[in-house]
Amino acid sequence: MTTTAGPLDSAEILARAQALAPELRTRSEEIERERRLPADVVDKLRGTGVFRMAMPRSLGGPEMTFSEQTRVIEALSTGDAAVGWCGMIGMDTWAYARCMPESVERSIIDTPDLITAGMIFPSGKAERVPGGYRVSGRWSFGSGITHCDWLIGGVLVHQDGAPEADPDGGAVHWRIIMGRPEQFEILDTWYTTGLAGSGSRDYQVTDLFVPEEHTFRFGESRGQGPLTARDAFLHNVAGVPLGVARAVLDHVRELASHKVERVTGVPWSDSYRVQLGIAQAEMDLSVARDAVYASLDRQWDRVAEGRAAAEDEQVSAAVSRVNAFRTARSIAIRMSDLVGTASIYRTSPLDRWTRDLHTMCQHILAQDQVLQSAGALLLGSTPLAPFPIGVKG
């Protein structure tokens, strides 16, 4: 396993991500074909520093803001969507470590580029036993599971066979367990339309003992600041669709520099339909991107200043994220229409980008239930889904 020696700041991590993106573009067919990130790509991704972005400064990390993190994920995603997705998922190690005992957090200081994968949704059961839990369950959407160092899974805690109440007074005790991937059975289930390279297999375990110190609840973070907020791990997600949309537009603009209309012979650069289509897509991406980053900066400043969460700001973060996913998919479809039949061949990156964006738009964070919950919050009604907390996977 390759790790990056010495401290890195946000500017260096972004520069390394940007420098890696062109190589990732050349490896995209391979990544999709293999349905996982090749080992050398994982090493190069570790070398960017992406997996230490949430490492606190007190431990020698860059402690990057939400916007800084998102720009790194966006840069990687211009190279390959699956790499960007795995970077976004895998960097949560430090967010989780902050919720566990300090001894656990300090045990990974010498290897700050550790990668975490797994689903936090409570699909498992944890029976309380002396010193920890006996865990059984099956989870889906383990993005990055083919190369991760730690694997997590959400569980509902039971004691003597009965569900345990949440320590804060809730009806159920939802907890996250963490173990090594070799402790779980990995199931090769990831045959999908897009994001094939993310390697998001199912995984399961039966009667695994997990010590108490390798479990946590959200809200138990040590310390203060934006990176210890309950929803801090959600704020860089939009970088993936934004980066893919940028790659789509750059590709079509490059095509336009040398193509001509087949019937009229008019260069694409002089074609009204091409000019209009690209300008509208650039307009939509600019609006979506600016909304995401403005929301991220407001969220960061609010938490950094110790201000209570404002409902309008929570809604802004959620709806701008949904809009980023949907706008990016719309751009890919419209640019495919603009290019025409050439876009349907597997040799065209437009085919892969469109499928990748369609697949990521099926993620829970891009679904209508997020918008319903946001609307309900604005109207003083009851969200049908937890808000603003969601899941990554």
Asked, as a colleague might, if the bond just before 167 is cis with ω within 30 of 0, I would say no
Q: Taking Cα atoms as reference points, which of 205, 113, 217, 112 lies closest to residue 164?
A: 217
Cβ 266 vs Cβ 260: under 8 Å: yes
Q: Which two tokens stand for residue 98?
A: 């902050």
Residue by residue, DSSP assigns 157-208 as: EEETTEEPPPTTS-SS-EEEEEE-GGGSEEE-----SS-GGG--EEEEEEEE
**Is residue 151 a contact partner of residue 180, using CB atoms and an 8 Å limit?**
yes
Is the separation of the CB atoms in 52 and 7 below 8 Å?
no
CA-CA distance, 392 to 91, in Å (whole number)? 11
pLDDT at 353: 98
DSSP 310: P
Question: Is residue 114 a contact partner of residue 108, using CB atoms and an 8 Å limit?
Answer: yes
Rounded-to-integer distance, Cα 364 and Cα 361, Å: 8
Tokens of 304: 């950094």
Contacts of 41 (CB under 8 A, 6+ apart): 24, 27, 31, 83
Stated pTM of the model:
0.94
- The residue behind tokens 């790194």 is 72
Task: State which residues of the chain have pLDDT below 70.
Answer: 1-6, 309, 386-393
Amino acid at 122: P
Q: CA distances (Å), 169 to each of 113, 221, 300, in order?
A: 36, 18, 29
* pLDDT at residue 148, rounded to an integer: 97
Whole-number Å distance between alpha carbons of 387 and 148: 28
Q: Which residues of 368-391 are buried (b: 16+ CB within 10 A; e: fewer)?
A: eebeebbeebeeeeeeebebbebe
- State which H helix or E strand residue 22 sits in: helix 10-34
Beta carbons of 289 and 328 less than 8 angstroms apart: no
The three-class DSSP label of residue 236 is coil
Cβ–Cβ < 8 Å for 152, 176: yes
Integer angstrom CA distances of residue 383 from 223, 370, 372:
30, 9, 7
In angstroms, the CA 171 to CA 165 distance is: 5
CA-CA distance, 153 to 151, in Å (whole number)?
Answer: 7
Q: Which tokens hold the place of 60? A: 């020698």
